[in-house]
Amino acid sequence: MRAGDRPVGQRTLVDLAFDAMFVRGFHDRVISFWNEGAERLYGWAREEAIGKVPRDLLGSVYPIPLEEIEDQLSTTGRWEGLIKQQRKDGSPVLVAARWGLQTDAAAKPSAILEINSDVSPSSVVNERLRRSEERFELLVSSVMDYAIFMLDTEGVISSWNTGAQRIKGYSAAEIIGRHFSIFYPPEDIADGKPARELVIAEREGKYEEEGWRLRKDGTRFWASVVITALKDETGQLRGFGKVTRDLTERRLAEERREAEVQAKADRLREYAARMAHLESTKAQFLNIASHELRGPLTVVRGYNSMLQDGSIPAEKIASVASLVEAKLAQMDTLVEQMLEIARIEHERFALNLELFDLRAVAADQLNALAPLAENHQLVMTPGSDRVMVEGDRSRITMVIGNLVDNALKYSPNGGDVTCTVTLDGPWARLAIHDNGIGIRPEHIATLFSRFGRLPTEENISIPGTGLGLYLCREIARRHGGDITVVSEFEKGSEFVLTLPLEQPLGAEGLSSPRGGPVRL
Ligand code: ADP
């Protein structure tokens, strides 16, 4: 009959114990008692075990010689230790032994009670746990997309997986034992960030963030980081688990998307600003134009009604007629300038090119303007050479007329207005010099802009549109030339038109990119 099949009535109390318990003689070491726990643990039935010596039956390997254990028992009455043994089926078993000594009536050692409990790592539960731990470790270590590693309580790295090696570039041998702050940029280290994260993780259970981290080669990557505090069952901090993901690609893609959206928004804003500017320029243009037209119109209307009601004496009519003529000419100029700007700003603006002598055209223009010069002297610097340019004769004539007209207008105290035409390397150079009011240096940049009338006291009484120089420079540039100015405040100014001597840019014309003369 098997031990386990014994009827309950025959079982002793010690049979109920979970541990293996048996008694063996102190001197002969022979087993005299064997409980059910011993049967379960070792597989030997009571009748098989009784009469045997434990060392032989169980193949016991003691941590110290058996004689020493027995000496200790006879002096102290107890012994505890780990013993390696074998079951009946030959499988190994590790037991935690707690032995006690039984003495006879004369207080001499007579028997030993051995209580042995199974602590083998190969016990089924332990084995399952060990396997599952092994599998888990394998899983963690082979994860590629996440850096998973452990830190001790101080932040020193104690484990490292494949993902960590891939993302951060360090091998396990290089990094285990180093402090985890090695992954942080210098500014974060200076700021105490790594230590702060551990404090938060310990307090809150975990710390999560996205931020820049460093790889071994010094390059930065955008990391998603979770640090988890690892505590034992008593709540004592044992270390930290850290999981890091490389989100650089995602971040770069996000940044690219943001940049695209931003660029689109910028383009839209720019476009809207351009349109708004255009609108306000248009409005300003119309305002100034109507204002400038209204002035001479009022004068003309005034003289007309005086003529009608006969309040102008006959001998004054001729001079009034020439005054009216001048005002009509002023209106004509403005309308002409506005039309010319509209043409120039149209994409299909074309120059009517012909070959002509710039000096001759300038001389003609001075002659035509001479009647306007009241207290001025219009002087053409002598020179016999012809200065041939290929350009739009009527437009260049208009440019020269404008420069001379300005020279007269802005030198109200009179003086010479000189025109000099010269050859300057591949350039034809035409300079209009006056001894007028001059221009302050800070105003030079405004001159050539649309409606670039200067905010000077003189300009209140000198009529003008602020369109002339803008138009002149645009025309010069469409010829591949330019207009520049040198001026001294209250002394006078010199405006210089340069045009290429040779074949210019063709009918379409081009603007000089840097504002200076260009040769193509
Ligand atoms: P405007 O119709 O006002 O003369 P322009 O475009 O021809 O317009 O000139 C722009 C501004 O440059 C003028 O309002 C004037 O203040 C200044 N300016 C032009 N030519 C001269 C000059 N020869 N001397 C001084 N200032 C000048």
How far is ligand 1, taken at its centre, from the CA of residue 287, in Å? Answer: 19
| CA atoms of 212 and 255, how far apart (whole Å) | 14
Token digits for 212?
């820049």
Please give the number of the atom of ligand 1 that sits closest to the Cα of 407: 23
Q: Which residue has the higher pLDDT, 115 or 349?
A: 115
Tokens of 106: 């004369």
Average pLDDT over residues 425-439: 96
Residue with the larger pLDDT of the pair 176 and 385: 176
pLDDT > 90? residue 411? yes
**Percentage with pLDDT > 70 across the chain:** 92
Answer yes or no: is the C-beta of 443 below 6 A from any ligand 1 atom. no
Q: What is the pLDDT of residues 208-226, one digit of tens each?
A: 999 999 999 999 999 999 9
Which residue among 418, 447, 493 is best mutated to probe the pocket of ligand 1, counting the most ligand atoms within 8 A of its Cβ? 447
Q: Is the pLDDT of residue 488 over 50?
A: yes
State if residue 493 touches ligand 1 by the CB under 6 angstroms criterion. yes
Task: For residue 282, give the amino acid letter.
Answer: K
Q: Which residues contact 312 (CB under 8 A, 6 or more apart)?
A: 303, 306, 320
Site to probe by mutation for ligand 1, drawn from 410, 472, 497 as the one with most ligand atoms within 8 Å of Cβ, is 410
Q: What is the pLDDT of residues 226-242, one digit of tens each?
A: 999 998 878 889 899 99
Centre of ligand 1 from the C-alpha of residue 475, in Å: 17
Residues 151, 213: Cα–Cα separation, whole Å: 17
Distance (Å, whole) CA 21 – CA 100: 11
What is the average pLDDT across 164-191?
A: 94
Region class of 216: left (phi > 0), else alpha (psi between -120 and 50), else beta: alpha
**Ligand 1 center to 395 CA (angstroms):** 19
List the one residue out of 217, 18, 46, 30 whose CA is nearest residue 123.
18
Going by alpha carbons, the residue nearest to atom 16 of ligand 1 is 454
- Do 190 and 198 contact (CB within 8 A), yes or no? no
**Predicted pLDDT at 140:** 78
Extract the tokens encoding 249.
């690609």
Name which of 443, 441, 439, 440 is nearest 493 in CA terms. Answer: 439
In short, whether 83's Cβ falls inside 6 Å of ligand 1 is no
| Percent of the chain scoring above 90 in pLDDT | 63
pLDDT at site 517: 36
Q: Can you tell me whether residue 168 is helix, strand or coil? A: helix
Name, of 1-10, 192-201, 268-277, the range with top average pLDDT. Answer: 192-201
412 contact partners, CB below 8 Å, separation of at least 6: 436, 437, 458, 462
Q: Does the beta carbon of 404 sit less than 6 angstroms from any atom of ligand 1?
A: no
Structure confidence at residue 124 (pLDDT):
58
Q: Which residues neighbour 225 within 8 Å (Cβ) at sequence distance 6 or greater?
A: 197, 207, 208, 209, 210, 211, 213, 242, 243, 244, 245
Q: Is 459 in the pocket of ligand 1 (CB under 6 A)?
A: yes
pLDDT given for residue 11 in this prediction = 61
Higher pLDDT, 511 or 378: 378
- For the Cβ of 117 lying below 6 angstroms from any atom of ligand 1, the answer is no
Residues 6+ apart with CB under 8 A from 496: 429, 430, 431, 432, 483, 484, 485, 486
Q: Output the six-digit token pair for 135.
A: 């599998």
d(CA 354, CA 365): 18
Nearest residue by C-alpha to atom 7 in ligand 1: 468
Quote the DSSP letter at residue 337: H
Q: Which two tokens stand for residue 88?
A: 């009946």
Q: How far apart are CA 376 and CA 413, in angstroms?
A: 8
Query: How far is the centre of ligand 1, averaged over its atoms, from the C-alpha of 202 (Å)?
Result: 76
Q: What tokens appear for 247 in the block? A: 């989100």
CA distance 438 to 494: 9
Task: Tell me the mean pLDDT in the region 144-152.
Answer: 90
Report the alpha-carbon distance of residue 285 to residue 295 in Å, rounded: 16
User: For the ranges 8-17, 163-172, 485-494, which has the lowest average pLDDT?
Assistant: 8-17
Using a 6 Å cutoff on CB, does residue 466 contact ligand 1? Answer: yes
| Joined tokens for residue 152 | 């001790």
Cα–Cα distance for residue pair 42/432, rounded to 1 Å: 124
Whole-number Å distance, alpha carbon 453 to ligand 1 midpoint, is 6
Which amino acid residue places its CA nearest to atom 20 of ligand 1?
406
Task: Compute the distance from residue 361 Cα to the ligand 1 centre, in Å.
Answer: 22
Token output for 317: 């009519």
- Whether the pLDDT of residue 109 is over 90: the answer is yes
Q: What is the mean pLDDT of residues 336-342?
A: 84
Instruction: Show the tokens assigned to 379.
Output: 């002087």
Residue 141 has pLDDT above 50, yes or no: yes
pLDDT tier for residue 155 given thresholds of 50, 70 and 90: very high
Please compute the mean of the pLDDT values over residues 37-56 and round it to a whole number: 94
pTM score: 0.47
**Least confident residue range of 208-217, 441-450, 508-517:** 508-517
- Mean confidence (pLDDT) of the chain: 87
Position 340 pLDDT exceeds 50:
yes
Q: What is the pLDDT of residue 336?
A: 84
DSSP 122-151: TSHHHHHHHHHHHHHHHHHHH-SSEEEEEE
- Residue carrying the six token digits 């010199």: 494
Ligand 1 touching residue 337 (CB < 6 A): no
Q: What is the pLDDT of residue 289?
A: 76
| Ligand 1 neighbour 407 (Cβ under 6 A) | yes
Q: Is residue 155 in contact with ligand 1, taking CB distance under 6 Å?
A: no
Q: How far apart are the CA of 273 and the centre of ligand 1, in A?
A: 28
Distance 404 CA to ligand 1 centre (A): 11
